[in-house]
Chains A and B, each alone.
Chain A
Amino acid sequence: MRITEETVQNVARLARLAVGREEAARLAPQLSDIIGYAEQLQQVDLEGVEPTSHPLSRYNALRPDEVRPCLDREAALANAPDSDGEQVRVPAVLEG
């Protein structure tokens, strides 16, 4: 599968990355190489093999539902690029 510059830009947009034309031109052949290499997996018969999503066979990990101390607001907002002291602030999401 050859990855085109257009594919790079479309996938980047899905990941909320702005990739310019020049960057896309550099990335496309590299990503084609990598995906091409990964295509080895297409040659193996994997019919009926269960997928592994995790090295441990873990089921739901439960803990008691108890109220515990957590970060206070000041600490939670300390790293926010913009806040009004109570909440984080972002550019307008809705017009008007």
Chain B
Amino acid sequence: MSVHTVKEIVASLRRGEAKPSEWAARILECIRRADGRVGAFLHVDEEGALARAKSLDGQPVEGTLFGVPYALKDNICTAGLRTTAASRILENYVPPYSATVADKLASAGAVLVGKTNMDEFAMGSSTENSAFQPTRNPYDLERVPGGSSGGSAAAVAAGMVPFALGSDTGGSIRQPAAFCGVVGLKPTYGRVSRYGLIAFASSLDQIGPFTRTVEDAALVLEAISGFDPHDSTSVDEPVERFADGLDTGVRGLRVGVVTDIQEEGLHPGVKQAVEQAIAVLQGAGAEVVEVSLPHSRYAVATYYLIAPAEASSNLARYDGVRYGRRADADTLLEMYERTRSEGFGMEVKRRIIIGTYALSSGYYDAYYRRAQQMRTLIRQDFDRAFERCDVIALPTAPTPAFKLGEQLDDPLQMYLNDMYTIPANLAGIPGISVPCGLVEGLPVGVQILGRAFDEQTVLRAAHAYEQLRGFEMPVPALEGSA
């Protein structure tokens, strides 16, 4: 299978070599051939995609994403198109409105082809918590694609779409990007509107792109960024032309390496690949400086109090009254309990119970409030570190992709997958994962973090590394899809 970048597709349309409807047809054919094995999509909207692409045929190629097919994680609302968050409770939910990111991508000329699989309500690190199907890692079908945005990551990795959007609450874009060998970007909190994103933990959630290249990530970021009157937490910062200036290199850039990073559980192959990536940046003229993030060791504990607490509140809306599934019952209370018990999967219940516990009277100060205080210290560590450096480089995930079923019975082990990604969510800063090699035949990623609203520098460092790393990520050989 040949894979194409966003930039290549737009260029071919500009040169008049292909029409948007031809690209849409080609992409749909790729999905038909490959997705039976991967399971990245919950819903493919063939008819809608072809109609939309045809409407672009013959129009002047305007907009950075004109005619480019793409996919959305299924927790991003699409008017008239089923949106389930991979949950039974929303199995038949058809949103009456579209998320701001979907509207923005439509204005940029992009063509939505379908909705991708995920962990239910974005709670998980393997996409195994989907109520509907597993998704398989295109590099090894016995392994998970990561999560929670595993469907979006796998769809881009397998060459089914040139880009897809996901959401990242504790690493849900960056970790699956690392597992699937693609680029995944979590923007600064507030950079991208969350209007129409089904809420998990509102102080942490952020939407971002999966792409094959850093330059494509910059193009998509530019299209989805900006203040939105529908989301009062979106920020009125100027939207830069993120793809411009990517080529200026890293000479003099100060790259922070974390001296007190937690190494327990870090795979030696991942460690080596990330050290090599840092050496590549150093070889290109970057200055490596040591920084300390002493409280990051508490990030997982902090996150697994704050995120469930916010989730327990956000998910209270699924009560069987206004939308979603309702179970039959004689009384209102019984209706609520049966609806929620039948509609939510195990991990969602676990987190609602943890969150309710952490917020309950008598425990609030001991758990939730302490977690919020720790969040302050984690943020302040980054403030201090970024006085000494411009970006921080570290592993995205401690290991390559694990096998399906391997960590399902041990929720705490599953949570530790996020040890290197969670701190950025707690601090609200941007981070990107870029493939930095194969370990035992499986992709691994280097993560580059930056100051709030300094995606430009993060992208510049990531692009420089990608250009200089000296290898191309091999396209996964999905049997029968060649």
Interface residues of A (CB under 8 A from B): 3, 7-8, 11-19, 23, 27, 30-31, 33-35, 37-42, 44, 46, 49-56, 58, 61, 63, 71, 75-76, 78-82, 88, 90-93
Contacts and interface: CB of A to CB of B under 8 A. Distances in A.
A30 B354 CA distance: 10
Contacts of A49: 373-374, 376-377
B367 A33 contact: no
A6 to B, nearest CB: 13
Given A33-B411, A41-B302, A79 B356 contact: no
A27 to B, nearest CB: 7
Main secondary structure of the interface of A (DSSP, over half): loop
Interface in B285-343: 298, 300-302, 304-305, 312, 316, 319-326, 329-338, 340-341
B304 A80 contact: no
Could you say which interface size class chain B belongs to?
35 or more
A1 to B, nearest CB: 9
Given A37-B300, A91-B329, A17 B337 contact: yes
Nearest to B342: A18
B63 interface: no
A28 B452 CA distance: 39
Interface of B: 92-94, 96-97, 189-190, 203-204, 229, 232-233, 235, 298, 300-302, 304-305, 312, 316, 319-326, 329-338, 340-341, 344, 349-350, 352-354, 356-358, 360, 366-367, 369-377, 379, 411-412, 415, 426-428, 452
A42 B373 CA distance: 11
A11 to B, nearest CB: 5
Contact of B301 (A7, A17, A41): A41
Nearest to A62: B232
A49 B302 CA distance: 14
A90 B353 contact: no
Contacts of B377: 46, 49
A82 B335 CA distance: 13
Contacts of B232: 58, 61, 63
Contact of A79 (B93, B233, B367): B93
Contact of A78 (B94, B326, B376): B94
A7 B354 CA distance: 11
A30 B350 contact: yes
Given A82-B326, A91-B330, 11 more contacts: A15-B312, A15-B352, A19-B349, A23-B349, A41-B305, A52-B372, A55-B426, A61-B232, A71-B97, A81-B323, A91-B334
A35 B370 CA distance: 13
A30 B369 contact: no
Contacts of A46: 370, 373-374, 377
